[in-house]
């Protein structure tokens, strides 16, 4: 039995599908953990070799060949330290979500995930079969029970490990962010600690992968349920933690406990990481976006600059005949305060050209939303052309409230490659803008105070077409994120006609959302992976008739 154990928690950023590159990152981190921190064990996240989630890459036979090559490289090249690394494993019975313990050229044990999540953004039952039995391995004289992600959310695997003689639970994860998730994880692990009376090392992945952001915030909890070590939010790195044997039991020694930032800061930093990793991992040369002088594009610009640096971001103002002068002034001020290159490209000439081309087709019709959408599509064409020419990704600027009810234009303001604030409700947009301005005014005050407008018609404001945003967001939270019925929402005191209208707009515009770019997920239920509704459906009409 050992009196001490030093573990390095490798809270690192990996690239899905890059098995060779991820293997190299694992080997380099293991060598650093050994040489710089004198660690006896280094722990890596769930499915580290493939990255998470690998989705249908798991169905490609060649992927497992690369995984086996990666495991062989780690087994061959890493000496002087134990390594726990997650990977898929083909074996008799099917494909498993597994983790192996490697030391001195040997795979000492391989543990298989028992509980496969199949809800929200997870669909592991599509790929994996569940494992069985406790996974306990002795490392430097300490008996460690190894579990994988969802296994810590239910009592079984941790209890099995304790009954098999484990003195410490190590749980490796790829747990994506949503608001409040950090505290939720610690509450769940505290339940396991109370059931087993064992300390738990909880290691999480960090980094952006399409819509998902893995926020890190790994931690160590002692056998009393107290967090004695917490790693930083959205920061990759190697972090040592020491354990000592006291009165026969393994106890984690206190270390730095990184504070959880306020919610606005936490969400903002997650959005920044999501943009940075999407742009970097997909090989774009930077980003371009339309800067309107409104609050959504102002927030998106700030996020892009913090993610990529001002030199990698271009802003384009595209005024129309309906654009207020203050909008141009405010957009210019935002770009200059952030040090971003910008240009002004008026859309009047292309707009007029489209109207001329379509004059015969439009003859006899009154001007309506069609002409408004043409303006938005002129801007979309301009921005996509700049994106194509420069290799910079086009960031769209729509928020969750607009996306939910279809207050967007297909092939216009929806045109682009990534949507940073797609899952950010409008009321939260204002709070995040205040966070951006916490030290100096980057977003002009009147941008936060003036009524929001698409400026596609004379005197237009958003509230001409939508309920006030605080009311809209309250209904959307219940209908979209909580899956509450129309009857339940009305019963809470909301105006019945407003609730019906909002629900109709949400369901009616599923076809638009299917054509929208991906964006960072920050709520419990984002459009896309989280919420998969049919485009063609008579469900809502049936419900509305039942309310008549």
Question: What is the rounded CA–CA span in Å between residue 92 and residue 343?
Answer: 61
Pairing of β 249-252 and β 341-344: unpaired
Mean pLDDT, 10 residues at a time, the chain of 548 residues: 87 97 98 97 98 95 95 97 97 93 96 92 93 92 96 93 96 96 96 96 97 97 96 97 93 95 97 98 97 95 98 95 88 96 96 96 93 94 97 97 94 95 97 96 92 66 80 96 94 95 94 95 92 85 68
pTM of the model: 0.94
Domain 264-466 CATH assignment equals 3.40.50.620? yes
- pLDDT value of residue 547: 61
Give the C-alpha separation, 265 to 344, whole Å: 32
Helix (H) or strand (E) holding 23: helix 19-37
For domain 4-254, give its CATH number from 3.30.565.10, 3.90.226.10, 3.40.309.10, 3.60.110.10.
3.60.110.10
C-alpha to C-alpha distance for 303 and 264, rounded to whole angstroms: 13
Angstrom distances, CA of residue 160 to CA of 3, 146, 166: 24, 10, 9
Percent helix, strand and coil across the chain, each to the nearest 5? 40, 20, 40
Answer left, alpha or beta for residue 80, where phi above 0 means left and psi between -120 and 50 means alpha.
Answer: left
Distance separating alpha carbons of residues 428 and 195, to the nearest angstrom:
38
The domain segmentation of the chain, as residue ranges, is 4-254, 264-466
Residue-level pLDDT at 39? 97
For residue 508, what are the CA distances in angstroms to 67, 224, 241, 369, 526? 44, 51, 52, 17, 17
Instruction: Please answer whether residues 88 and 71 qualify as being in contact, where contact means their C-beta atoms are separated by less than 8 angstroms.
Output: no
**Strand arrangement, sheet containing 82-91:** 106-112, 94-103, 82-91, 41-43, 4-11, 237-246, 249-252
- In which residue are the tokens 């608001």 written? 179
Cα–Cα distance for residue pair 120/55, rounded to 1 Å: 14
Model pLDDT, residue 114:
95
* pLDDT computed for residue 119 by the predictor: 86
pLDDT of residue 540: 76
Residue 410 CA: distances (Å) to CA of 284, 380, 472, 490? 23, 9, 22, 31
Which of 216, 404, 205, 383 shows the shortest CA–CA distance to 288?
383
Question: Quick one: pLDDT at residue 322?
Answer: 84
How many whole angstroms separate alpha carbon 217 and alpha carbon 180? 12
Helix (H, G, I), strand (E, B) or coil at 279: helix
State the pLDDT at residue 548. 56
What does DSSP say about strands 41-43 and 4-11: parallel, antiparallel, or unpaired? parallel
Report pLDDT for 539. 79
pLDDT in tens, 297-333: 999 999 999 999 999 999 999 999 888 888 899 999 9
Of residues 244, 189, 260, the one with CA closest to residue 7? 244
Strand partners, 102: 83, 107
Phi/psi for 353 (5° steps) reads -65, -40
> Residues 350-380, buried b or exposed e (16+ Cβ, 10 A)?
bbeebeeeeeeeeeeeeeeeebbbbbbbbbb
DSSP assigned state of 517: P
Same fold, 4-254 and 264-466: no
Give 252's contacts (C-beta < 8 A, 6+ positions apart).
Answer: 199, 201, 220, 221, 222, 228, 229, 241, 242, 243
Residues annotated catalytic, as ranges: 46, 113, 149
Joined together, the tokens standing for residue 381 give 């064409």
Q: For the chain, what is the radius of gyration of the CA atoms? A: 26
Cβ neighbours of residue 159 closer than 8 Å, sequence gap 6 or more: 195, 196
DSSP assignment letter at 189: H
pLDDT number for residue 464: 66
- Residue 85 near residue 44, CB atoms below 8 Å: yes
CB 68 within 8 A of CB 100: no
């Amino acid at each position: 039995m050992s009196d001490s154990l030093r573990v390095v928690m490798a809270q690192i950023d990996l690239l899905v599908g890059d098995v060779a590159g991820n293997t190299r990152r694992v080997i380099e981190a293991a060598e650093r953990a050994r040489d710089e921190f004198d660690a006896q064990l280094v722990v890596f996240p769930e499915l580290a070799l493939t990255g998470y989630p690998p989705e249908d890459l798991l169905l490609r036979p060649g992927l497992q060949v690369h995984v086996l090559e990666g495991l062989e490289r780690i087994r061959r090249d890493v000496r002087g330290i134990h390594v726990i690394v997650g990977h898929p494993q083909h074996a008799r019975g099917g494909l498993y979500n597994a983790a192996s313990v490697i030391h001195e050229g040997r795979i000492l044990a391989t543990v298989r995930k028992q509980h496969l999540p199949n809800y929200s953004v997870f669909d592991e039952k599509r790929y994996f079969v569940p494992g069985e039995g406790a996974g306990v391995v002795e490392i430097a004289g300490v008996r460690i029970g190894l579990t994988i992600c969802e296994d810590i959310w239910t009592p079984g695997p941790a209890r099995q490990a304790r009954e098999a003689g484990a003195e410490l639970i190590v749980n490796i994860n790829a747990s994506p962010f949503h608001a409040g998730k950090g505290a939720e994880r610690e509450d769940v692990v505290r339940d396991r600690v109370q059931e087993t009376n064992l300390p738990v090392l909880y290691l999480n992945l960090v980094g952006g992968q399409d819509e998902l952001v893995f926020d890190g915030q790994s931690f160590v909890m002692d056998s009393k349920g107290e967090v004695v070590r917490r790693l930083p939010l959205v920061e990759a790195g190697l972090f040592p933690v020491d354990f000592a044997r006291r009165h026969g039991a393994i106890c984690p020694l206190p270390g730095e406990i990184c504070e959880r930032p306020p919610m606005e800061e936490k969400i903002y930093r997650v959005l920044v990481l999501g943009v940075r990793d999407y742009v970097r991992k997909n090989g774009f040369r930077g980003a371009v976006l339309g800067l309107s002088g409104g609050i959504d594009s102002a927030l998106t610009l700030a996020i892009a600059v913090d993610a990529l640096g001002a030199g990698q971001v271009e802003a384009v103002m595209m005024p129309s005949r309906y654009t207020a002068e203050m909008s141009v002034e405010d957009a210019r001020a935002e770009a200059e305060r952030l040090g971003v290159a910008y240009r002004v490209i008026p859309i009047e000439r292309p707009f007029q050209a489209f109207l001329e081309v379509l004059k015969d087709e439009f003859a006899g019709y009154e001007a309506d939303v069609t002409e408004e959408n043409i303006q938005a599509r002129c801007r979309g064409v301009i921005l996509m052309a700049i994106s194509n020419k420069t290799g910079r990704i086009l960031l769209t600027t729509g928020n969750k409230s607009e996306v939910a009810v279809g207050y967007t234009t297909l092939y216009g303001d929806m045109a682009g490659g990534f949507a940073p604030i797609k899952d950010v409700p409008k009321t939260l947009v204002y709070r995040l803008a205040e966070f951006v301005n916490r030290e100096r005014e980057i977003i002009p005050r009147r941008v936060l105070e003036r009524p929001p407008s698409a400026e596609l018609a004379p005197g237009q404001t958003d509230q001409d077409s939508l309920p006030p945003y605080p009311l809209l967001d309250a209904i959307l939270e219940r209908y979209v994120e909580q899956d509450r019925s129309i009857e339940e929402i009305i019963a809470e005191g909301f105006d019945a006609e407003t609730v019906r209208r909002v629900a109709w707009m949400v369901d009616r515009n599923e076809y638009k959302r299917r054509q929208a770019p991906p964006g960072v997920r920050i709520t419990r239920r984002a459009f896309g992976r989280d919420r998969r509704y049919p485009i063609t459906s008579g469900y809502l009409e049936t419900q509305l008739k039942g309310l008549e």
